[in-house]
Chains A and B, each alone.
Chain A
Amino acid sequence: NAGVTQTPKFQVLKTGQSMTLQCAQDMNHEYMSWYRQDPGMGLRLIHYSVGAGITDQGEVPNGYNVSRSTTEDFPLRLLSAAPSQTSVYFCASRRGRGSYNEQFFGPGTRLTVL
């Protein structure tokens, strides 16, 4: 099993550009989520999904879109990049819809917006 994979590992964007961060898992997990990590602020939930076709907003959803067309994939779209979106982005997945299972994190994408 590859677990949770993310691409790209590093990305530099100019303000106003759009891009998609890819996330895939091969564990047949129902729950997938995107977090951003900024110094001193821990991990903040951007969007999450409890299954194919079902997504919802987390704490900091503005400027990001998601979709879940398959169980395996959960891409995160930045519509018009801003310097405030410079961060490290982690995708995570876990079995089931409840909070009682461990989350598996991908290796992260380091994004810089100039």
Chain B
Amino acid sequence: GQQVMQIPQYQHVQEGEDFTTYCNSSTTLSNIQWYKQRPGGHPVFLIQLVKSGEVKKQKRLTFQFGEAKKNSSLHITATQTTDVGTYFCAAANAGGTSYGKLTFGQGTILTVHP
């Protein structure tokens, strides 16, 4: 089945430092979504990337989709304590008849020290 590798598993930063998490797939993706889960909470949708090379920004968050549509990244500039949580990518394979099944990466747990 499809595998999506997400790294790093953990990231500890000082407030104000930048943070990046990466997702990699061995297969070409149709689209990739990013979710954030606060401690004790449930995943919440952040954004979706569909086009090759696509870059989207949400305030301090920048999302990129690779040219080959096999990898993606989420970059946070100048982290704040409100950024604490687990960030997941969720990817769907291109083609096939998988009824749009999304495979989640393992998640990156972000800790921000004030």
Contact = CB atoms under 8 A, between A and B. Distances in A.
B31 A43 contact: no
Interface in A34-62: 35, 40-45, 48, 50, 56, 58-59
Nearest to B47: A102
Interface string A86-101: 0000101000111110
B99 A108 contact: no
Contacts of A74: none
B31 A99 contact: yes
Contacts of A106: 42
Interface stretch (B52-60, B62-70, B74-82, B103-111): B103-111
B30 interface: yes
A114 B110 CA distance: 31
Q: Chain A interface: which size bin?
A: 20 to 34
Given A42-B6, A42-B107, A31 B100 contact: yes
A99 B101 contact: yes
B101 A100 contact: no
A99 B100 contact: yes
A105 B9 contact: no
Given A42-B88, A105-B43, A108-B42, A100 B1 contact: no
Nearest to A59: B1
A103 B45 contact: yes
Nearest to B102: A99
A100 B30 CA distance: 9
Interface of A: 31, 35, 40-45, 48, 50, 56, 58-59, 90, 92, 96-100, 102-108
15 contacts: A31-B99, A42-B6, A44-B104, A45-B101, A48-B101, A59-B1, A90-B42, A90-B43, A96-B100, A97-B100, A99-B102, A100-B48, A102-B33, A103-B102, A105-B43
